[in-house]
Structure 1
Amino acid sequence: MKIKEITKKDGTKVYRINVYLGVDSLTGKQVRSSVTAKSRKMCETKAHQAINNFISNGSTIAREKVIFNTFDKLALSWFESYKLTVKSNSIRVTNNYLKVYLLPELGVYRVDRITPMLLQEIVNKWAKNANTAKIINGKRERGKCKDYKLLLNLIKRILDYGMQLGAITDNPALKVFPPKLKTRAIKKIKYFDNSELKKFLCYLDTLELTPDNVRRTTLYRFLIATGLRVGEALALSWYDIDFNEQTVIINKTIVQTLTERDKIQKSAKTRESNRIVSLDSNTSTLLKNWKKVQNKRTLSLVDTLIFSYENHNYTYAREIQILTKHFASACVPNIGFHGFRHTHASLLMNNDVNPKEIQIRLGHADYAITMNTYSHLAKDKKKDTAEKFSNILKAL
């Protein structure tokens, strides 16, 4: 940097330097500034300060530096922007992570005082809690989740947001490494084997034909026959069913929100979950019979949710309570609603259905998800493979 000595009209001397600050991150233009001081040393100091101020403001002069006194204010500002880019269920989950984990640990800290060591200690504590927490019915205690890597990623995203706004100059979370999650007991997939499924279906046939029982029996059989997620099924309306082609369009899902208005999310869980699923004749007939009960044997031109009755839309929380009672009455294992989906996949696997077709039918984003989740359920096929290998050897 070349410093010029300038003599003013009153004879006093000052020193001036033209400083190249860098390329503006918002406009893409080069930014220069002029610094004046009473001494060469002071001039150099001011020049370095100008460069540092430019960088700390997000490498831009197009806006003023944004100041967040504490992490919670930065996090909540980030969350407002985040909510505009994701679906309702992601908003709900992230809001829970913020309230239960991030803000209690970091909320009161000044953003510029958050260090890699502080974050590492917090992540280590989360990891220790996850590795030592009691697991009851497949779930850890509240506040001791195993998703501490995801929590760290949220911190990184929040601090990146702070850097973009010029609130901080670097991201300390980038220097933090999450400990490995210890392998606990392998999570067993809950599903009905053939005998259990037959027992449950026979139990459903014994129920009194009240509207509530017919609706739930139709729902249970529908889930077993299609492999849909229960949230996808509860969001279906009659317009989604094509009885002529015997297909159902899945492009919505129920989410757990506080407001009835936002209950149905106008898109499925993932992009691949938006799909068309074929129905078998028995399931198609089952739906037609339920529609007659729902409409009280009258013709209705109004589109309604398939699994509703008398304008009442049932919640997941209520439905799982009733389902649990039915499992107990039928003397079968409690596999939950998702167990119907696993049962559907197991049946297809054991009956030589192409795994790629199963992936599409279930709406999995990746073929590997289908194989890693369900391939071991094809117990009958393993026996067949052993027999086939034995026959191959005999034929040599």
Structure 2
Amino acid sequence: MTKIIKYTNKDNETLYKFRFYAGIDELTGKQRYIRRQGFTSEKDAKTELLKIEYLVSTNQYYKSVKSGKFGDVLDEWLALHKETVKPSTWQFIELRANKHVRPYFKDMYVDKITLRQCQDFVNKTFKVAPVAYVYSVSIVKNTLDYALRLGMIESNPMLYVIKPKKQASISDNHGNFYTKDELKKFLDVAKDTDLKKYTLFRLLAFSGIRIGECLALTWHDLNYKNNTIAINKTLARTKNGIKIQTPKTKASNRVVSLDNETIQVLKMWQLEQRKQLLKLGINAMNKQQLIFSNTKNKFIIIPTVRLAIKQIAKKAGLYPITTHGFRHTHATLLFASGLDIKQVQARLGHSNVQTTLNIYTHAIQDKQDKIGDEFAKYINF
């Protein structure tokens, strides 16, 4: 009897799956199994299982399932997936699907795609984009998973590829974050360069918010009385240009506490911004006034921030981290200051504590290595 199995996916969602034995393939002599997964309820899984049992028992299942070209299955999966993600995420997925995935697999029939072909795709994509190749691989895997659910294939060869390992570089050895001393050097140079840049980078480093969340902030989000800032939106690039949208996840919608010094820096910048905008004939007292805007009082684009990081890092004699590196810096220093994993998770707005654990393994391990000394120091005998 086929069992309905309950499992948890990477997003900690409870789902259901099954593997149904469909007898022996007369042509190959091999056992045939029909696998289905991703059901949100046990009832849905049972309904699908009953349908398959009936079709197999009446010799209709394998006659009704026709193989299709990868490009057609990809189109179906993309159409379904589009409804589950934000516009900015969809734009990224669509771009990678059409530029990297489709040209390789387009005219292949899904039931003829082999492990060797999948491995070849992985190797070639890795050479072109050693970091971002995983996104293209994920699209292929998800498309073949969809073909599996449709009964077009019996297994997903993408599950068995060997993933290449990126060679260590200078940036890898350094890490995409600054130490306490490096951060001070960077901010000291930023302070001498420009008040707006200094305020932006200090806020990123002392709050841990994402760059998109930071560039979407208005002064109305800042609470001087409680020394907090509300994160309730983010800046994202879509087909229709740069837009404001809801945060990445539900947990990303949060209130972040700020230190007194960062609050004072923000107050200084607010006064300076009002003077600058007044010269342009713009009333900065508007509640929807962006905390950080360009010379035309519009959204600042992320490449502009990246360029500023490179310029300041060069002056400070430091390796330039990415915009997201300031978030890594904040989290790494949080662990060093003694905060536990749940506190860090909440402050960063991660919906799953596993995400925090996976990303900040280096900081957690460093803390673990010092537990013995800390314990002995506390006991003191």
* Counterpart-to-counterpart distance in 2, 1:150 and 1:76: 15
Matched to 1:98, the amino acid is: A
Which residue of 2 is the match for residue 205 of structure 1? Answer: 191
Say which one has the larger Rg. Answer: 1
Counterpart of 2:235 in structure 1: which amino acid? I
Separation of aligned partners in 1, 2:178 and 2:85: 35
C-alpha displacement at 1:221, in angstroms? 0.5
User: Residue 152 in 1 paired to residue 140 in 2?
Assistant: yes
Q: CA deviation at 1:330?
A: 1.6
1-structure distance, mates of 2:350, 2:120: 34
- Pair 1:179 & 2:161 matched: yes
Question: Relative to structure 1, is the Cα distance of residues 284 and 130 closer, same or farther in structure 2, using a 3 angstrom cutoff?
Answer: same
Amino acid at match of 2:290: L
Further displaced range: 385-394 or 95-104: 385-394
Q: CA deviation at 1:291?
A: 1.8
* 1:272–1:90 distance in 2 versus 1, CA, 3 Å: same
* Aligned match for 2:314, one of 320, 324, 328: 328
Letter of the 2:134 counterpart:
K
Task: Show the counterpart of 1:269.
Answer: 248
Measure the CA separation in 1 of the matches of 2:67 and 2:316: 58
> Which residue pairs with 2:36 in the alignment?
none
- Between the aligned residues of both structures, percent identity stands at 25
Distance 1:95 1:148, change over 3 A: closer
Q: Distance in 1 between matches of 2:362 and 2:135?
A: 25
- Whole-Å Cα distance in 1 between the matches of residues 177 and 200 of structure 2? 17
Aligned residue in 2 for 1:43? none
Cα displacement string for residues 141-171 of structure 1 (whole angstroms, at most 9, x for unaligned residues): 88xx13465133332255368x4xxxxxx22
Q: Secondary structure at the match of 2:225?
A: coil
The answer to whether the 8 A contact 2:67-2:152 is kept is no
Partner of 1:92: 91
Q: CA deviation at 1:316?
A: 0.6
Task: Tell me which residue corresponds to 1:371.
Answer: 357
Relative distance call for 1:329 and 1:122 in structure 2 (3 A) is same
| 1:307 maps to 2:292 | yes
Q: Does 1:286 align with 2:265?
A: yes
Whole-angstrom distance in 2 between the partners of 1:352 and 1:266:
33
- Give me the whole-angstrom Cα distance separating, in 2, the residues matched to 1:53 and 1:343: 55
2:41 corresponds in structure 1 to none
| CA deviation after TM superposition for structure 1 residue 393, in Å | 9.4
How far residue 175 of structure 1 moved from its aligned partner, in angstroms, is: 4.1
Residue 167 of structure 1 is matched in structure 2 by: none
Shift of 1:277: 0.7
Check whether the contact 2:115–2:161 (CA below 8 A) recurs between aligned residues: no
Give a deviation string over 1:100-135, Cα, whole Å, max 9, x none: 2332123234xxx432x424343121233366x37x
Query: For the structure 1 residues 154 and 385, does the alpha-carbon distance in structure 2 shift closer, same or farther, using more than 3 Å as the test?
Result: closer
1:140 equivalent to 2:130? Answer yes
Q: TM-score, normalised to structure 1's length?
A: 0.68
| Letter of the 1:76 counterpart | D
Map 1:353-368; keep pairs closer than 5 Å. 353-368=339-354
The alignment's C-alpha RMSD in Å is: 3.6
Distance 1:121 1:265, change over 3 A: farther
Question: Residue type of the partner of 2:263?
Answer: S
1:93-172 correspondence runs (5 A): 93-109=92-108, 113-115=109-111, 117-129=112-124, 133=127, 140=130, 145-147=133-135, 149-156=137-144, 158-159=146-147, 163=150, 170-172=151-153
| 1:32-47 equivalence runs, <5 A | none
Contact 2:104 2:121 in 1 (8 A): no
Aligned pairs for 1:44-55 within 5 A: 52=60
TM-score (norm 2): 0.71
One-letter amino acid of the counterpart of residue 387, structure 1: D
> 2:210 — aligned with what?
229
Structure 1: distance between partners of 2:189 and 2:250: 37
Cα separation, 1, equivalents of 2:370 and 2:62: 70
> Does residue 327 of structure 2 align to residue 341 of structure 1?
yes
Deviation at 1:286, TM superposition (A): 1.7
Change over 3 Å in CA distance of 1:83–1:182 after alignment to 2: closer
Aligned positions, number: 318
